[in-house]
Structure 1
């Protein structure tokens, strides 16, 4: 079933006392229980649903969206621990099961953990996996010092707070640089401090100094004093900016923003010009 674990727009095939049966791409049907219907739906109408399996492992559709769909991370609270695994709260009526074999470490009821939603192809059910290292990406070369990112705190160690960046990468906020209370599950908007060789990212909560962007502005200004204009602007590609100035697009935009604010340049459709 291709829709398992995903948000899909499905057509209503027919109604029964139990709810509406929706058409799947493989020709089968899935039940949207009556409790999820507003009452004004019609046959042939398209409806957006999330498809998973109920407590009896039967495919079922719901209009609620979980905290994470298949192949996505979310920080989830462990609601019940058994000898076989843990049941996690992911925002749906049926909890997400993390098998004991898929735990990165032993879980404690009431604590929160980073979990990836996966399909168990042996049982064709959705399960959670807390061995997050298997799914974290390490190609972080696109980040640079000073860049602001979005993330969520997912673990705490003696060294600091681990942060899931943009749902894909691992970052770290060092405890000796954090001056406010943080907890697992908190959303943060830190700045990149350093990109490490192992693909992990050192972060800081406070905004970086303006020194970097001031140097970028000085570089652009020196070039403009000679050339008077540059065919670069907000719409220029990162590759074009890198080739001409040797800086990232974000660095460029911050730098020209400073120059424009100081009325040292004008920004035109064909590029930037020295005033």
Structure 2
């Protein structure tokens, strides 16, 4: 059985229109949504996935790498705060709850705090700020977290550039207004510039004096 909160190797067991089920031989498997299935992968192929729970409390797999796994400590950003606690961005589609009882002090949106990721009594992923009690925890450096953030931001920018703007925007990372970047891509101008630099280095885009274009295979 695949472990909750961990990245692990497994196999694609069977395919459906909406995704594939992954796990070990003889298991029912866990859903990996179709958008997460790497191109060219099919039944019997090995794949690396992280397992968490979706909004309906069902186990689900992703090929995205989170900033932190169960048993690890890292400094993460607060996505939101409400009456049950703070929600921490771990780099996946769903944030992880940091209950009020696990806070060392009051938190606000966009604060960055050190947390430990664990599985609570309800078998859900949860975070705590009481990290010093976890002497055996693996500490993820801020550099590792930032590198992962830049990679995810680059993927997000590339996807939106293709899906929303048909591979072309009439401005560059040097000429665009910060408010326009936030409106179009949902990130800060600084994050946009880093992502554009990464995509340019990977030869996934080209930049003119007035625009940015996605490079497709036929353009290379």
Q: TM-score, normalised by structure 2?
A: 0.60
What's the counterpart of residue 167 of structure 1? 139
Instruction: Specify every segment of 5 or more residues in structure 2 that has no aligned partner in the other structure, as ranges.
Output: 144-220
Map of 1:34-73 to 2, 5 A cutoff? 34-73=34-73
**Secondary structure of 1:32's match?**
strand
What's the counterpart of residue 130 of structure 2? 131
**Structure (1 or 2) with the greater helix fraction:** 2
Does 2:84 correspond to 1:112? no
Deviations 1:63-93 (CA, angstroms, capped at 9, x unpaired): 0111111100111111100111000111111
Q: What's the C-alpha RMSD, in Å, of the aligned pairs?
A: 2.4
**Secondary structure of 1:127's match?**
strand
Alpha-carbon spacing, 1:83–1:25, altered in 2? closer, same or farther (3 Å): farther
Map of 1:1-275 to 2, 5 A cutoff? 2-24=2-24, 27-120=27-120, 122-136=121-135, 167=139, 187=143
**Secondary structure of 1:35's match?**
helix
CA distance, structure 2, for counterparts of residue 134 and residue 25 of structure 1: 37
Residue 24 of structure 1 contacts residue 30 of structure 1 at CA under 8 Å; is this kept in 2? Answer: no
* Structure 1 position 39, deviation (Å): 3.4
Residue 53 of structure 1 contacts residue 59 of structure 1 at CA under 8 Å; is this kept in 2? Answer: yes
Instruction: Specify every segment of 5 or more residues in structure 1 that has no aligned partner in the other structure, as ranges.
Output: 138-163, 169-184, 188-275
**Secondary structure of 2:109's match?**
coil
Q: Which has the larger radius of gyration?
A: 1
CA distance, structure 2, for counterparts of residue 135 and residue 49 of structure 1: 25
Residue 72 of structure 1 contacts residue 117 of structure 1 at CA under 8 Å; is this kept in 2? Answer: yes
Q: TM-score, normalised by structure 1?
A: 0.48
* Structure 1 position 125, deviation (Å): 1.0
**Secondary structure of 1:101's match?**
helix
Which structure ranks higher in relative contact order (CA pairs < 8 Å, sequence separation ≥ 6)? Answer: 2
**Structure (1 or 2) with the greater strand fraction:** 1
CA distance, structure 1, for counterparts of residue 61 and residue 105 of structure 2: 32
Deviations 1:135-176 (CA, angstroms, capped at 9, x unpaired): 146xxxxxxxxxxxxxxxxxxxxxxxxxx9x729xxxxxxxx
**Secondary structure of 1:47's match?**
strand
- Report the number of matched residues: 144
